[in-house]
Structure 1
Amino acid sequence: MRNIDAMLNPRSIAIVGASSDGRKLNGRSLRFLLEKGYAGAIHPVNPKYDTVAGLPCHPDLEAIPGPVDLVIVAVPAREVATTLESAGRKGIPAAIVFSSGFGEMGEDGRRLEREVAETARRRGIRLCGPNTLGLINAFERVIATFSQYANGDTPAGPVGFVTQSGAFGTAIAALARRRGLGLGYFVNTGNEADVDVVEVMRAVVADPRIRVLAGYIEGLKDGPGFQRLAEEAMAAGKPVVLTKVGRTGAGARAAASHTGSLAGVDAVFDGAVRAGGMIRARNEEHMLDIVEAFTGLDALPAGRGLGLVTQSGGAGVLMADRAEELGLTVPVLAPETQAALAKVVPGFGATGNPVDVTAQFLADPDVLRESVVLVLEDPQVHMGIIWLQLMEAHVDVLVGLFEEIRARTSKPFLVCWVAATDEALTKCRERNIPVFRGGEPAVDAAAAVIGYAESRRRLAADRPQRIALAPPPVTLPERAGLVPTLEAARLLGDAGVPLTAARFARDPDEAVAAAQELGFPVAVKIESPDIAHKTEVGGVRLGLADGAAVRDAVTAVMKSARAHRPDARIEGVVVQAMAQGDVELVIGLKHDPVFGPVVMAGFGGVLVEVLKDVAVRPAPVTRVEALGMLDELRGKALLAGVRGRPPVDREAVARLICAASAFAAGAGPRLTEVDLNPVLAGPAGVVAVDWLMVLD
């Protein structure tokens, strides 16, 4: 990490392949460093020249007098490894490789990239790239990039932005500049042969001048590092706002279990974001909306209540609809608040929430100012949005009003100014007043702020439990593939996972004896190391009330399994006691290649992959996290009881999720997948009636 700091804030920079032509790729960074006023030493390196841009030009890195912190490499791909060897001999700790022609070009390029990465590792150099636009540290005027973004102003500000895409990242940076959002850092990680997006984010978030971190991500390699980033950012009180592409089907492939199918790459990433209290944005505009909201707020909301003050009744309804869609509340204001508003708002306005002040406030600015202050003083309101439109002739008055409101309240508020002039936007942003182009973007940003505030409270309260998590190691059998049902039951049962009683039987006679021991009614299921989904081969019979029914069921499931899978090894059947529950859930475990063990919880049964109503977290989880997973489910109302049914014992479900997640964490990477489906939940508790375990 020290070498990454040298990359981001170097005291001296060498540019290998430097050109005096500031229009060329290998000349732009030198031009930018000179034009933007970088204060450190700049050392052009190119054996073709004695001087470049008025600076002494050296034939190679080792000819440079004195130490160098960062080398910018702008030479053909085949010369990069040699350049890094020279940098290593010089003792340079960090390098940015602009050069392309590596992993993005196929196998030959990947082989060359591996050589470059190995050279950097052997020489102790932290490498950004190759195939990167480079970086900007606007505080110290380190313009180590050839991006066209640097052609314009690069004002320092409280936002750090790290992107895996060069072109799209440049577009986002340009949009941020247009909004007046100062990027203290702009870093493109390129092919990530060494330094990855997570490491850079961790370095950037540690800078006390950064208040908000934003990132554009296409894929991750370091799940544990990502979780540490979340912890470090939360401890520092700095929101992390991420846009990740590949939301649908990104790496999710059908596996032996439902978990393998549903807990795909994007679902696991999303779960890690939620677990760490980070914020996921839908796209670049949504990301910048959220970033803008955070840069302009001095306090976080203490609850989910949203107060809406508008110039238009229709706009108020639109925002109220969106707020409720996002799970926020738009409370009816207290009677005393409405009484106070009635003395301020015209009689043809509205005082309930949304509050419609009409256009009357133009004649009397006190109407808007006092209305907003009164709404924010209501104890049910925790954050406000002010909506207005046009008002070209009243910019100074309105901006002044917003400053007065901020001085009189401790609660945060956003401004939605539809069709605002450039002058209005500039003056609001100069005063750190977050301003949005439409009602829904403003509400979406408010929801992100409220969600982050809730995450801070949750994680602070749950920190002792998180620290205390220490799952014991689990000894797994040596075999690979499907684990026999009873052996899997022993492992899960020892971990505290409640399962229905089960017995193995090789033939109808043993099955009848097992049923009599368990007590009728029972279920009979085919047992085969080659059949993962028993129902798909007609291998399950339920509710068998006597010995004759059991005998017939054993014959039937074996015959059906052989008909569907003549190649399968049929070992016998499993006889289980029948169980009851009002809701069918699925609890799944999986070893993710990036994040390691993860746990999934959702609504299960045979339609689990149709409903796709699940929540995912890195394992292990605490009770608070497990309950939070249940609250994420779209069908969570089913757990509270519907159509006269009693509510499910949520605490019992949470205990099962915790036990299963601890088992996954203790088992290690050989535990490929576990499916508990269905898990029957009701007011009396929870029990898994079918389970599947796969080992690597």
Structure 2
Amino acid sequence: MTQQNKAVVRAVLDAALAKGRKALTAPEAKLIADAYAVPVPAEALAECADEAVALADRIGFPVALKIVSPQIVHKTDAGGVRTGLATAAAVRAAFTSIVSNARAYDPAAEIKGVQVQQMVPAGTEVLVGTVTDPTFGKVVAFGIGGVLVEVVKDITFRLAPASRDDALSMLDSIRAAEILRGVRGGAAVDRTALAELIVGVSRLAADFPEIAEIDLNPVFASADGVMAADVRILLDPQPVKPRRTYSRAEILTSMRRLMEPRSVAVIGASNEAGKIGNSVMRNLVDGGFPGEIHPVNPRADDILGRKAYKSVMDVPGEPDVAVFAIPAKFVAAALEETGRKGIPNAVLIPSGFAETGEQALQEEIVAIAERYGVRILGPNIYGYYSTWQDLCATFCTPYDVKGGVALTSQSGGIGMAILGFARTTKTGVSAIVGLGNKSDLDEDDLLTWFGEDPHTECIAMHLEDLKDGRAFVDAARATVPKKPVVVLKAGRTGAGARAAGSHTGALAGDDAVYDDILRQAGVIRAPGLNDMLEYARSLPVLPAPKGDNVVVITGAGGSGVLLSDAIVDNGLSLMEIPADLDAAFKAFIPPFGAAGNPIDITGGEPPSTYEATIRLGLEDPRIHALVLGYWHTIVTPPMVFAELTARVVAEFRERGIEKPVVASLAGDVEVEEACQYLFERGVVAYPYTTEKPVEVLGAKYRWARAAGVLG
């Protein structure tokens, strides 16, 4: 955009804000639309009926008339809109009626006149708009428009400013995308013009922070181009307080000392069993942390056989982390000493801050930490685990199974569920981290670290909100090409749509924006806690797929049907089996079985049939993933199936042929042991469910597409 374009917008906004207004009039909105090349109809302002008739004659019949008043934002609700006026008499009557309706709707409203507008050419009615989201900032929206927009709710969101590729992806992301391509002989809309409109509107919102919402509804899209019939712009004069940010290098430096410390001080360490300070000390000592552990307690000489210090200032050397296990009211003073000592990380376990209404106390500790350059984890957390360092800095039960899964939670209760799940499933973890109030360190800091951590292969995060959605998106985009990121966003249904002054704002419920923008960042969103945990332990087990062709091999026809349904539900593609491959499968299955896809080998077949068909599925390069449906029989017992499957998969892996293989095992309790056996050997297997293994495979495919590794 040229400087002159921006100058026009700047002048319009400044004039409106100087009068304390929070909405622009239609003529003002047209000036801004023209400045940013937003196609709008020819129009002019009439202050009397005669003037309206003259303008209509100049613009050309038919015309639309709309009330112009700074106080009346929703013109239709006020009876302030008339369309399709084809004669001078109709314009005159409409003018009188509109003004009368507006005065009855809001007697105090300032009536500036009536806007006479060219009728817009016919086309598909869509909506283009922007909102200022509390998490992600400026966000652009696109969807089906018109009077039923809030009923249909077919809309998608992207960060603003949007790129041309973002805009084109939005056209394909709504449920009614096929309408834009032309249906029942109708012409497709001009996708280039529509994408340019989305980009331009998103740039306008990003360029001017005081624009709270833009609402273009309806926009008429046709093969000949696009035109916005109505432009509504709402203002917010309150500037957003900038959040303190850190560079990637600064984040990695502080996170390295947090996650790989050589020395830890425990403020509030105790010899008394049942105290948090005692549990933290015991976990550090019993967990085998090889670095220095320095208890701090002014009333003790030694704790668990280690010299205790009166103050953190007395601790020798330069500790990397100070773990706080003292009441909230003492934290500020101890944090001041921590800062003066030069300790870069404070892990605040105590509660009693913003979560209990003590916002001022939390702001005080944040100010102290910023003054000294201390990064805060918490407060109100269970602590954290860094298993590859044998570090268990928490009052919860210890955990020491090393592996590639990093898990974080905003909630302590969810943290304990994560711990229990990891223990039950023998999931190897690289870290488990509590975030609590997120007064400072949050998901984007952890994601930046885990993205570079060689011990971490998959990151799964439970969160209730994001402090800085854009920072999280940036961190996710840097991480996803290297490893999957799974998010469980709590509060999916609680917030609903916020009260807003535009259709776009009303549709921008918290979850709708989260859903689209997390997907835009390549994040895998888990629908529930168990899903998040299962994705986390399963995704590192599965190799990346090299194509879309999925084949189902099953010993039970019923399972095959359910597995096929799950494949469709998860956006996967059942391979169309070519004739030669169909014949190859038929050679191994009985005449009453069924080739095609699913391949039903029937339940009475011996282990050799399972093995032969699995071998063929792995051997043929046209097949990219296998879904196995096992049925418990005497002929092929569960562990026999598990052992042969694991052996064949391992054999092909040694030959350099790796494909994702998932399995659903239906049977008696012996299938549980068989599933665990398979899981430990690279086959993601679940008992009693046809949905779960395919959901995991679907998650792997979503990551592969986002990471650009799908062949």
TM-score range for the pair, normalised by the shorter chain length: 0.5 to 0.7
Describe the superposition over 1:346-399 as per-residue Cα deviations: whole angstroms up to 9, x where unpaired: 2222211111222344x3x22112212323445653211112244695515622
TM-score (norm 1): 0.62
Match of 2:265 among 11, 14, 20: 14
Match of 1:124 among 365, 373, 378: 373
Structure-2 residue corresponding to 1:494: none
Structure-2 residue corresponding to 1:242: 487
Structure-1 residue corresponding to 2:467: 221
* Residue 415 (str. 1) matches residue 657 (str. 2): no
SS in 2 for 1:170: helix
Describe the superposition over 1:68-96 as per-residue Cα deviations: whole angstroms up to 9, x where unpaired: 11001111111001001111121111010
In the TM superposition, what is the alpha-carbon distance from 1:219 to its structure 2 partner?
0.2
Question: CA contact under 8 A between 2:638 and 2:674: conserved in structure 1?
Answer: no
* Residue 233 (str. 1) matches residue 445 (str. 2): no
Structure-2 residue corresponding to 1:373: 615
Q: Is the alpha carbon distance of 1:100 and 1:127 closer, same or farther for their aligned partners in structure 2, counting shifts above 3 Å?
A: same
Question: CA contact under 8 A between 2:408 and 2:460: conserved in structure 1?
Answer: yes
Question: CA contact under 8 A between 1:214 and 1:291: conserved in structure 2?
Answer: yes
Match of 2:624 among 337, 357, 382: 382
Question: CA contact under 8 A between 1:334 and 1:378: conserved in structure 2?
Answer: no
In 2, Cα distance between equivalents of 1:421 and 1:20: 47
- One-letter code aligned to 2:274: R
Question: CA contact under 8 A between 2:294 and 2:315: conserved in structure 1?
Answer: yes
Structure-2 residue corresponding to 1:427: 677
In 1, Cα distance between equivalents of 2:631 and 2:641: 14
Structure-2 residue corresponding to 1:577: none
Question: CA contact under 8 A between 1:230 and 1:278: conserved in structure 2?
Answer: yes
Match of 1:47 among 298, 322, 337: 298
Question: CA contact under 8 A between 1:383 and 1:412: conserved in structure 2?
Answer: yes
- One-letter code aligned to 2:564: A
Describe the superposition over 1:511-531 as per-residue Cα deviations: whole angstroms up to 9, x where unpaired: xxxxxxxxxxxxxxxxxxxxx
Provide the aligned length of Structure 1 versus Structure 2: 451
SS in 1 for 2:479: helix
Match of 1:112 among 339, 361, 368: 361
SS in 2 for 1:372: helix
* Residue 310 (str. 1) matches residue 554 (str. 2): yes
Structure-2 residue corresponding to 1:270: 515
Question: CA contact under 8 A between 1:22 and 1:30: conserved in structure 2?
Answer: no
Q: Is the alpha carbon distance of 1:258 and 1:403 closer, same or farther for their aligned partners in structure 2, counting shifts above 3 Å?
A: farther
Structure-2 residue corresponding to 1:441: 692
SS in 2 for 1:209: coil
SS in 2 for 1:42: strand
Describe the superposition over 1:485-544 as per-residue Cα deviations: whole angstroms up to 9, x where unpaired: xxxxxxxxxxxxxxxxxxxxxxxxxxxxxxxxxxxxxxxxxxxxxxxxxxxxxxxxxxxx
Q: What residue ranges of structure 1 are gaps of 5+ in the alignment?
A: 462-696
Structure-2 residue corresponding to 1:403: 647
Describe the superposition over 1:102-157 as per-residue Cα deviations: whole angstroms up to 9, x where unpaired: 11111xx1111111111111111100011111110000011111123x2xx42111
Structure-2 residue corresponding to 1:135: 384
Q: Is the alpha carbon distance of 1:326 and 1:431 closer, same or farther for their aligned partners in structure 2, counting shifts above 3 Å?
A: closer
Question: CA contact under 8 A between 1:38 and 1:140: conserved in structure 2?
Answer: yes
SS in 2 for 1:358: coil
Structure-1 residue corresponding to 2:44: none
TM-score (norm 2): 0.61
Structure-2 residue corresponding to 1:346: 590
Q: What residue ranges of structure 2 are gaps of 5+ in the alignment?
A: 1-250
Match of 1:168 among 396, 414, 417: 414
In 2, Cα distance between equivalents of 1:327 and 1:421: 28
Structure-2 residue corresponding to 1:279: 524
- One-letter code aligned to 1:423: E
Structure-2 residue corresponding to 1:579: none
Written as runs of structure 1 = structure 2, the 5 A alignment for 1:545-694 is: none
SS in 2 for 1:58: coil
In 2, Cα distance between equivalents of 1:110 and 1:349: 67
Structure-1 residue corresponding to 2:565: 321
SS in 1 for 2:373: coil
In 1, Cα distance between equivalents of 2:650 and 2:707: 23
In 1, Cα distance between equivalents of 2:570 and 2:684: 20
Question: CA contact under 8 A between 2:350 and 2:380: conserved in structure 1?
Answer: yes
- One-letter code aligned to 1:156: K
In 2, Cα distance between equivalents of 1:201 and 1:177: 23
In the TM superposition, what is the alpha-carbon distance from 1:422 to its structure 2 partner?
4.8
Question: CA contact under 8 A between 1:117 and 1:193: conserved in structure 2?
Answer: yes
Written as runs of structure 1 = structure 2, the 5 A alignment for 1:15-34 is: 15-34=266-285
In 2, Cα distance between equivalents of 1:64 and 1:431: 47
Question: CA contact under 8 A between 2:603 and 2:631: conserved in structure 1?
Answer: no
Alignment RMSD (CA, Å): 2.1
Describe the superposition over 1:266-290 as per-residue Cα deviations: whole angstroms up to 9, x where unpaired: 2221122111111001001112232
> Share of identical aligned residues, percent?
34
Written as runs of structure 1 = structure 2, the 5 A alignment for 1:147-186 is: 147-148=396-397, 150=398, 153-186=399-432
In the TM superposition, what is the alpha-carbon distance from 1:446 to its structure 2 partner?
1.3
